[in-house]
Amino acid sequence: MDKITFLGAGSTVFAKNVLGDCMMTEPLREFEYALYDIDPERLEESYLMLSNINKNSNGQKARIVKYRDRREALRGARYVINAIQVGGYEPCTVTDFEIPKKYGLRQTIGDTVGIGGIFRALRTIPVMLDFAEDMEEVCPDALFLNYTNPMAMLTMAMLRASSIRTVGICHSVQVCVPQLLYRLGLPQDHVKYRIAGINHMAWLLEITRNGEDYYPEIKRCAKEGPVYKPYTKEMLKDYPQLLYPDYEFTPEKHDDLVRFEIMKQFGCYVTESSEHNAEFMPYFIRKNHPELIEKYQIPLDEYPRRCRIQIEHWKQLKNQLVGNEKLTHTRTHEYPSYILEALETGKPFTFAGNVMNDGLIENLPKDCCVEVTCVAGQGGIQPCHVGNLPHQLAALNMSNIGMQQLTVDAALTRSRECIYQAAMLDPHTAAELTMDEIRSMVDELIEAHGSWLPEFK
């Protein structure tokens, strides 16, 4: 069946970009777009919005259908796009931040690594595997594109515990080089680059302009001081995903100081933002060194702040999208429509994907999830071989991979001991707390999550 199912369709702005893009793509215009969400109000809002786009920009060619029955939403789907958030801002995100804070463990984003990332994975993996179980029965050949964080852990769990073809896709590689060069005021034409690593901690391994190594110029400009430039309308038009991290940011917080320090010390620029990478490593958020927060302009409790802002922003945006009967859409740079177009037509499309490391990065474990260049086309999706990462970059990736693997182990086996071990191996958590404190914090988090978590023995 020509059917695209969107799980978590209540993410209305994201659904507009992803599914609106698909409706603007010739081979996908006449598909059924199956919308599923557990929140009936948000589901209805997305349905009305996409129906208007279909009418005004697609000549009513697509079939927009809302479902309350997940299995029926999935039945016969060719492609499934996942953008769920289990537990939401309240109560779960608040819990992920407030309980660790009692122990002196501060976070910035907490959705990918750290104690917040671990618990987000633990409550999300069982739901994802329920999706997989349904898919194995009603659309076993469908491609599952995952956008939900923690990307590496969720994708790893799907690929370890189900037969569903799964690829994780994320914005960080997509915006890394444009963002870096824009902030430094450097030309972006005739630029080529190569990126590989793990999600939110992949590395700009090579970058050239006009065939010449561009890294010396990048490092020279970064040493002189990152340039703050507010994003132009054109930049946000091309890369709308840049907007969301930047609500109410001051120039000082835009200087990307953590990433530039990582590049200075380890030789390569990292794909994801400074606020993310501050908690991927043990060097930046230290309760015994509070001066580092000011030095590197690290926004503590940043993700809860963004959640509150986005909740308020949605109140303003809702009428523009949901109640606008003249709503139209222009195709964005989001990956899915281009991936699906390539699979439908055979015309190759290259993107950054999260897949199991089947010999792709040779000095990372085979049973971890890596982020590498992938090519979609007539033969499906083919990840590209990377070879070895520089040893220091592989070591930084490895410092997070063990935590990811143990978190997936915990979710698949219901082992509380694996949760303790995952938290003890997390670089930031281990740098701040004793092993006894970590065990106590994990116990308190499990208790606070209540019915949001399966029972751990």
Half-sphere exposure (Cβ direction) of 359: Cα atoms closer than 13 Å = 1
Lowest mean pLDDT segment, chosen from 137-151, 309-323, 399-413: 309-323
pLDDT category of residue 251 using cuts at 50, 70 and 90: very low
Return the structure tokens found at 329. 């859409």
333 has binding-site annotation: no
Return the structure tokens found at 94. 């608040």
In CATH, what class is 3-168? alpha beta
pLDDT category of residue 185 using cuts at 50, 70 and 90: confident
Q: Are strands 349-356 and 212-213 parallel, antiparallel or unpaired?
A: unpaired
**Mean per-residue pLDDT for 263-271?**
97
**CB-CB contact of 44 with 67 (8 Å):** no
Q: Where are the beta strands (DSSP E) in 199-302?
A: 201-209, 212-213
| Residues recognised as catalytic | 171
For residue 236, what pLDDT is reported?
A: 59
374 has binding-site annotation: no
For residue 230, what pLDDT is reported?
A: 60
**CB-CB contact of 139 with 74 (8 Å):** yes
The fold of the 169-457 domain, in CATH, is LDH C-terminal domain-like (3.90.1820)
Q: Tell me the C-alpha distance between 260 and 89, whole Å.
A: 30
Q: Tell me the C-alpha distance between 304 and 151, whole Å.
A: 19
pLDDT tens by residue, 205-249: 999 999 999 999 999 999 876 665 666 666 656 555 555 444 444
Helices 257-266 and 215-224: crossing angle in degrees, nearest 10, is 130
**CB-CB contact of 147 with 153 (8 Å):** no
Burial class (CB in 10 A: 0-12, 13-18, 19+), 329: buried
Nearest alpha carbon to residue 247 among 198, 314, 183: 314
pLDDT tens by residue, 360-417: 999 999 999 999 999 999 999 999 999 999 999 999 999 999 999 999 999 999 999 9
Q: Are strands 369-377 and 380-383 parallel, antiparallel or unpaired?
A: antiparallel
Would residue 287 be called left, alpha or beta, if left means φ above 0 and alpha means ψ between -120 and 50 degrees? alpha
For residue 442, what pLDDT is reported?
A: 98
277 has binding-site annotation: no
For residue 238, what pLDDT is reported?
A: 59
H/E stretch holding 58: none
Question: Which residue type, as a one-letter code, is found at position 241?
Answer: Q
Between residues 311 and 285, the one the model is more confident about: 285
Return the structure tokens found at 316. 């303003």
Q: Tell me the C-alpha distance between 409 and 230, whole Å.
A: 43
Average pLDDT value for the chain: 93
Return the structure tokens found at 248. 């109410």
**Sign of the dihedral defined by the CA atoms of residues 232, 238, 244, 246, in that order:** negative
The pTM (predicted TM-score) of the whole model is: 0.94
Question: What is the maximal distance between C-alpha atoms in the chain?
Answer: 62
Alpha carbon distances (Å) from 385 to 41, 137, 144, 169, 193: 44, 32, 22, 18, 15
Question: Which residue type, as a one-letter code, is found at position 432?
Answer: E
Q: Tell me the C-alpha distance between 404 and 365, whole Å.
A: 12
Please check the confidence at residue 109 and state whether its pLDDT lies above 70.
yes
**Domain coordinates in residue numbering, the chain:** 3-168, 169-457
